Structure 1
Amino acid sequence: VDGSSCIRHLYGDLEWIGGAQLKQYGEKAQHFVQAFANLGVRLVFFFDGPTAEKKRKTWVERRMSKLDSMYIVLDAISNGTPTHVIPKKHFHLPPGMGQLSRVIFKTVCHCEVYQSLTECDEEIADYARKNKVFAILGQDSDYVIMDTGNTLYLSIEHLNLRNMTTRLYDRWELARSLRIHPSQLPLLATFMGNDIITSQDLRPFHLNVIRQPVYNRNINFRILVPSIAMFVRTLPLDETQLFSILPDIAIRTLGHPSRDRDIITSLYSYKSHAIDHVREDIDRNDHWSRLVAEARYRHQTNELPSMVYAIMSGLPFESATSVEDFRKNDLPTFASATQPIRERIYGILLQEKPLPESGAHLVPEWCMAGPGSLDQANYVHAMPPASPHPGLLALWNEDKDERVVSVRWHLFVSSVSPNLDVSRVRSTVPSYLVIPTLILFNINELNCLNEWEVNAMLATASCIRYYDVAMLAALPSEPITARGVRVSNLIMR
């Protein structure tokens, strides 16, 4: 199961603007797994990891496009538009759904859950071939393009859990109907446009192959797809011969022979690369390499939050677009409000990494904070903990050593705010209120919330455990205010 596609399907029509309906979603997730179990089908979930750097440009463009969509939603709420009237095209998954889903499917539903090292489609295809799985369930055209062996590709968008029916996408039939070999489908996808080579880059080529005037802005895909397939049929099937003429192909499709590198990158993105979910044997003797290998294994097997392996392996921290209004300054941005926390977490994670010549670890970040914020990466200093910790392996493994547990608590609480009393938090705050209390303490230090807003959030955190799914579903979602939505979003993130 492609986890990202699954989350969107399962969340469905649940209210999203005011915040995630976590209990209702959890119940739907359990019902989803049980529906397949009733047919004797075992589900294995894969979730995306960090963004591949070759797709950063597309990632940024999508985050900026989503920002325009969020402004439309917030303006509609400010103008008194009921949430159910806001077009579904503006739907945006509430914060934390990926992390929550991984926990539910692994801990509650007892399914195998893996986190990818980048995007999960390659690892799903590789796992499918190795394990002779029955089918891939997702909603990504890459599964039609990639070689997944004899595995079926089923649509999650068209899945009906009541009668357990959906649509089958057949790569062999697609290739046959276009009169190309299945091995040429990556060429078709490349020249249609993807996350590496955009359709805008290919627009002159598209207009040329369908013989359409430049002034006609709309391209008919019913004409474009068979036209590109006709072009692909003229190319060699043999990979060696194909690569020898790639500069010429790049001139025709992208206007310059040097763009052949982009074509190669695109074609290789549809090849699966064997990735084993086992601990690596590290030949190097250095301690840090072994730590990174352990973090990689725990990342893949869903034992750590996704950011841990990313930061330890030198990849950037990412914060995407959410329901924030950067046109106003009554609330801090998520990126600025949490930067001190991130700095302290980076210091904990990188304490054992040898220092560079500069004498400090810098972590790249891509954090949406309004127009221009994603023009380039921002580099943040890792702040070492006030007193050194016993090492990540001890923190991860030692559950019964009270000394290590005490250090864990100190690192956890002090990373949120150095002004918190660790012993008081540990001894007096009920376990289910620890995280809400720490979050609200941190935000309250920024002097951006009204007292009644803090009280309302504390009351919600305290009372939610007494509401079952039916009671929550019966609660009205209106009226709602734009500030309330933004405050809720900041706290949930």
Structure 2
Amino acid sequence: MGVKGLQSFIERCCPEACVTVHLTDMARQQVPRSRQEDAASPGTTVPTIAVDGMACLRHWYSCKDWVCGGQWREIMDVLKRWVEAFTSAGIRLVFFFDGLVKEQKRAEWVKRRRRVNGEICKIFHYLKAHRQQPGRELFCLPSGLATFTSFALKSLGQEVFSSLQEADYEIANYACQHNCMGILGQDSDFIVYDSAPYLSVAKLQIGTLTTVLYDRQRFCRNIGLTVAQLPLLACLLGNDVVSEEWMQNIRYEAMATYRIDHPAPHSGASQGQMILAVSHLVSSVWDRQERGKGHIPQSLNLSGAQREILKRGLCSYLLPGQEALQQGDIPALPSTPAFEKYVSPEVLKACREKHVAVEGFMVYSVLCEGVTECSNTLEDEEDTELIPQALVYKPCRQLIYGLLLLHGHDGSHADFPAVKEWFVYPGNPLQEADMVHPLSVSLPCDNPSLDLLWFGSSPEVSALRLTSFLSIFGCLDFSELYGTIEDSLLAALCLVTYTVLQVQTLSEEDADAYLSQAVCVRLKSPQELQQIKLPFLSSRAVQLGSLYVRGLSHLLFANCASGRPLPNAALMPWQSFDGRLFHSKYLLAHNYTEKTVLLDNNPSCLSLFLCLKEKLMETCRKRGRILQSGRKAPERNHETEAGLSHRERYSVSDQAPGDGERWSEMEETPRGHRRGGGQRERWEAGRDRREFRDRREGGGRMRGSQCFHSQPHFYNDGGPPHCPP
């Protein structure tokens, strides 16, 4: 995020530092200079841009629909065209994505997550009021976009890195060390780093490859500072390491002094005036005899705590080889892996390498940091019927932790490790991490060591990897399907089965929507998916779409922990999910639509769907879960429908209009919500009501969510009947 207001200040007050550039021309100029500087080093002659992948996500996700869970095949097309534009210009791209959140930035991370929670509340209020997607002012990226985009770029042959430290730091360091022609991103910290030129992705015109370059030298001349003084300016103004509150008194003093010489034309200091005032302060107190980038002037009126946090902030901008702090180096953060005693050095080494190379997911943060996090997702805090997504997948995470940490354990729970989870969900105040203990995976044999799972090469080990993966989701019965159906469909079946077992309020129609779209999406082009028409949006379907994509990330986590029994490519959302398609299937499934229509009148798709559903239903029966019909009344917006034709009003796709007229015959019963209190309390109250209803309707059989807070009751009750390929 960088320094608040710094980039807009440059655009408004230092226009000469904002230079429109043609990247193709820059690349041509870069080649001769690179050859002259380092002709002996192979690869350095190729003009290279270091790309901040996290900053590009909003630029890349230009798809019309975002609230339904993501148009993943369309985003793949966008990425292909984007990469091809640079490749055709002879420019090499190197992408970086955030690998983990460092603890010194946890407070800022929590602050942003809480702010996004408020925006998500507004999204659902709008959805329930208008039954359509809100405008871009309430735009929220689909769940898992950063994770899956990094894998997508890697599948396109791009060089992609997942950071071990702060991603901005690694980007600036890479660009400096490899003589990159620029850093493409949207973070004012790239102005502060003494590295390659900073190029704006927000200003990028991909058709002409033009953008704005923020010239730090011109900026420094404009405000009377040197590049070496920019880190001190950034820290005094406030950034991700040094919060604004820490240096508030210093800024007030600077502003008071500045106003004496530059009286403000009106009351109230603008951010621009504050930047000029702090720049004036830095220039006035700077000791000309000590020009190091980590220099803290002694004349600054700082407390001991302020000086220490300022040291850490300045250190965050110092790249290798640049000057160190004259007050003494900041102590290095502990580098000992959090769970070193539970895994071998070989596993830790492989874990680190896979993390950096974007071949693993979440395993590094668990084994080496002992902490993992999950950002916001689209879920309605007022909906008492659906369990928060983070808690739906908590049991499978516990089993994954067990696979990673409890192999060969003597069974004593006294010294079981606990993983710190920072997961965002309604009802979680994020005041502290949830301490989550691992659970042992129930396997036909003794729990295998990670060394065996990850490095073993025998056929028996391959079978053990698959068994471990399926057991995490309670789907060991599906091992017979391996090799008879596509890996992506096997993964989708595991995910839907696990979700149905965990969320007792999911109905048969919900499962039909999940499975039918997983079967049909394989045959549709991005253009066909974009042409699907939705007469209105259901807030519940929005949540279920997000729930599925969040589950895919857990499939990826389990697959990496199990030694990759399935190719990671099979677990990507563009293989089994499209938000717009799922939403259409959801509306059709809850509208009495015949299965042939639900499956696009395609006999092979229908046959495959029925096979998958048979496996799902059989597994549910063995677990005591009776999947019942529970059609939801449509959540229509009559104002929106007024402008639609009869066909548009009642059809969901051109291929499958369905029996839409029946919507008008169904009673629209509002879904009641308990107001007041936290989401967790409202969900518990809703669960109590549902359990009473289920006991009454099911002859005393308890349903609900018994496995919600503990290990799910998964058993191996034999294999499924034959499923034709």
Note the 1:185-224 alignment, pairs <5 A.
185-211=230-256, 219-224=269-274
Residue 32 of structure 1 is matched in structure 2 by 82
CA distance, structure 2, for counterparts of residue 427 and residue 110 of structure 1: 27
Change (3 A) 1:408 1:241: closer
Q: Structure 1 residue 197: deviation in Å?
A: 2.2
Note the 1:118-267 alignment, pairs <5 A.
118-148=165-195, 151-211=196-256, 219-233=269-283, 234-236=285-287, 238=290, 249=300, 251=302, 256-267=303-314
Q: Which string of whole-angstrom CA distances, capped at 9 and with x for unpartnered residues, describes residues 87-116 of structure 1?
A: 423222111212221222112x21111110
Residue 373 of structure 1 is matched in structure 2 by 429
Q: Structure 1 residue 285: deviation in Å?
A: 12
Change (3 A) 1:286 1:198: closer
Residue 73 of structure 1 is matched in structure 2 by 123
1:139 maps to amino acid:
Q
Residue 424 of structure 1 is matched in structure 2 by 480
SS at match of 1:249: coil
CA distance, structure 1, for counterparts of residue 83 and residue 360 of structure 2: 23
Change (3 A) 1:478 1:154: farther
Change (3 A) 1:258 1:354: farther
SS at match of 1:210: helix
Q: Structure 1 residue 242: deviation in Å?
A: 7.5
CA distance, structure 2, for counterparts of residue 32 and residue 2 of structure 1: 14
CA distance, structure 2, for counterparts of residue 165 and residue 333 of structure 1: 43
Alpha carbon RMSD of aligned pairs, Å? 2.8
2:532 maps to amino acid:
L
2:169 maps to amino acid:
E
Residue 567 of structure 2 is matched in structure 1 by none
SS at match of 1:154: strand
1:377 maps to amino acid:
A
CA distance, structure 1, for counterparts of residue 267 and residue 421 of structure 2: 37
Contact map agreement 2:52 2:168 (CA 8 A) in 1: yes
Larger Rg: 2
Contact map agreement 1:146 1:270 (CA 8 A) in 2: yes
CA distance, structure 2, for counterparts of residue 472 and residue 362 of structure 1: 43
Residue 573 of structure 2 is matched in structure 1 by none
CA distance, structure 2, for counterparts of residue 241 and residue 4 of structure 1: 27
Contact map agreement 2:470 2:478 (CA 8 A) in 1: yes
1:127 maps to amino acid:
Y
Residue 366 of structure 2 is matched in structure 1 by 311
Q: Which string of whole-angstrom CA distances, capped at 9 and with x for unpartnered residues, describes residues 163-220 of structure 1?
A: 110000112222121111101111111111111222244444434432389xx99641
Contact map agreement 1:250 1:257 (CA 8 A) in 2: no
Q: Structure 1 residue 429: deviation in Å?
A: 4.4
Q: Structure 1 residue 7: deviation in Å?
A: 2.0
Contact map agreement 1:314 1:363 (CA 8 A) in 2: no
Q: Does 1:409 align with 2:456?
A: no
CA distance, structure 2, for counterparts of residue 364 and residue 183 of structure 1: 38
1:303 maps to amino acid:
E
Residue 14 of structure 1 is matched in structure 2 by 64
Q: Which has the higher contact order (CA 8 A, sep 6+)?
A: 1
SS at match of 2:344: helix
Comparing 9-18 and 38-47, the one that deviates more: 9-18
Q: Structure 1 residue 369: deviation in Å?
A: 2.3
Q: Structure 1 residue 481: deviation in Å?
A: 1.2
Q: Which string of whole-angstrom CA distances, capped at 9 and with x for unpartnered residues, describes residues 58-110 of structure 1?
A: 10011011000000000000001531xx2423222111212221222112x21
Residue 439 of structure 1 is matched in structure 2 by 495
CA distance, structure 1, for counterparts of residue 293 and residue 214 of structure 2: 30
Contact map agreement 2:420 2:434 (CA 8 A) in 1: yes
User: TM-score, normalising length from structure 1?
Assistant: 0.89
CA distance, structure 1, for counterparts of residue 521 and residue 320 of structure 2: 44
Change (3 A) 1:245 1:39: closer
Q: Which string of whole-angstrom CA distances, capped at 9 and with x for unpartnered residues, describes residues 436-485 of structure 1?
A: 21111111112121211110111111100111011111223551011111
Residue 98 of structure 2 is matched in structure 1 by 48
2:359 maps to amino acid:
E
Q: Does 1:92 align with 2:143?
A: no
Q: Structure 1 residue 304: deviation in Å?
A: 0.9
Residue 277 of structure 1 is matched in structure 2 by none
CA distance, structure 1, for counterparts of residue 194 and residue 535 of structure 2: 48
CA distance, structure 1, for counterparts of residue 548 and residue 373 of structure 2: 18
Q: Does 1:458 align with 2:505?
A: no
Q: Structure 1 residue 265: deviation in Å?
A: 1.2
Residue 530 of structure 2 is matched in structure 1 by 473
Contact map agreement 2:63 2:75 (CA 8 A) in 1: no
Q: Structure 1 residue 138: deviation in Å?
A: 0.8
Q: Structure 1 residue 394: deviation in Å?
A: 3.8
Residue 403 of structure 2 is matched in structure 1 by 348
CA distance, structure 2, for counterparts of residue 241 and residue 435 of structure 1: 51
Comparing 472-481 and 124-133, the one that deviates more: 472-481
Contact map agreement 1:288 1:352 (CA 8 A) in 2: no
CA distance, structure 1, for counterparts of residue 172 and residue 305 of structure 2: 30
2:98 maps to amino acid:
D
Residue 392 of structure 1 is matched in structure 2 by 450
Residue number among 158, 161, 182 corresponding to 1:111 in the alignment = 158
Change (3 A) 1:200 1:481: farther
Change (3 A) 1:67 1:483: same
Contact map agreement 2:294 2:314 (CA 8 A) in 1: no
Residue number among 495, 506, 515 corresponding to 1:449 in the alignment = 506
CA distance, structure 2, for counterparts of residue 120 and residue 451 of structure 1: 43
Q: Structure 1 residue 325: deviation in Å?
A: 1.8
For structure 1, which runs of at least 5 residues remain unmatched after alignment?
275-279
Note the 1:319-330 alignment, pairs <5 A.
319-330=374-385
Residue number among 314, 319, 322 corresponding to 1:272 in the alignment = 319
Change (3 A) 1:489 1:241: closer
Share of identical aligned residues, percent? 27
Contact map agreement 1:316 1:364 (CA 8 A) in 2: yes
CA distance, structure 2, for counterparts of residue 80 and residue 458 of structure 1: 28
Contact map agreement 2:66 2:141 (CA 8 A) in 1: yes
